[in-house]
Amino acid sequence: MIWVITYQAIDHQLIMPSPQSVFLSLFDLITHMTSLGIIATSIFRLFISIALSALLGIILGMLSGLNQKVSWILKPYVTILRTIPVISIIVILLILFGYKITPFIITFLMVFPIVFQAAESGIKAINHELIDVYNLEKHDFIISIRDLYFPMIQKYLILSFLQSFGLGLKVLVMAEYLGQTRNSIGNSLYLAKTNLDYSEVFAWTILLILISFAIEYVVHRYQVKKLID
């Protein structure tokens, strides 16, 4: 309703495109192979970056939760990654690595602290009496990670993934936009803005929201399934 009222009040397609034109552009995006290829490429970048972040974040987070010295060493670096301005690090990475690699690196750097913190918090929240009882029967550290530590921190990790996909998608598209990465949603937004095609800009924005909802829905369904099991 706000969109319709604003469009009627402004009455200028270049400033505020109509809902009808935007949804027609959205339909064009989801029915053309070129656009679908661009979407698939950006989502592939997102999943690769988050997979690497999850792998390293879980390993280092668990080590940090189990060992105070490791936590003391890693904390400053994680804090820096949490606080550094995103735009600054994107520009620096574009200068150092170029437009092809930067979207992967920046997404990794933004998501890693979230997964790291979740793994560390999950480890520290485990009841020490439970650990002691488990250690009385088994002494293999690798087996304890598989059977005790990892299952106990799963709910923390799933919550971190729900946060990671939304943040990762925003950061990835921003990096693609600034670096004009070929075959990317960010570059498509840049071209639409340059060509004054604001209906397509709105359409890409709606599509990004839908993609984020869809990914988070899948993760949430997995969380519910694990709770039921």
What pLDDT is attached to residue 224?
66
Query: Domain residue spans in the chain?
Result: 31-228
What pLDDT is attached to residue 226?
62
Q: What is the tens place of the pLDDT at every residue in 91-123?
A: 888 888 888 899 999 999 999 999 999 999 888
What pLDDT is attached to residue 202?
92
Under the banding of pLDDT at 50, 70 and 90, the label for residue 2 is: confident
What pLDDT is attached to residue 132?
66
Under the banding of pLDDT at 50, 70 and 90, the label for residue 228 is: low
What pLDDT is attached to residue 133?
67
Average pLDDT, the chain: 86
Contact 179, 107 (CB under 8 A): no
Q: What is the tens place of the pLDDT at every residue in 25-83?
A: 999 999 999 999 999 999 999 999 999 999 999 999 988 988 889 889 998 898 888 88
Q: What percent of the chain has pLDDT over 90?
A: 40
Q: Is the pLDDT of residue 125 over 70?
A: yes
Q: Which residues contact 109 (CB under 8 A, 6 or more apart)?
A: 81, 89
Domain 31-228 of CATH type 1.10.3720.10 = yes
What pLDDT is attached to residue 227?
57
Q: Is the pLDDT of residue 17 over 60?
A: yes
What pLDDT is attached to residue 173?
93
Q: What is the mean pLDDT of residues 137-164?
A: 77
Q: What is the tens place of the pLDDT at every residue in 195-226?
A: 888 899 999 999 999 998 888 888 777 766 66
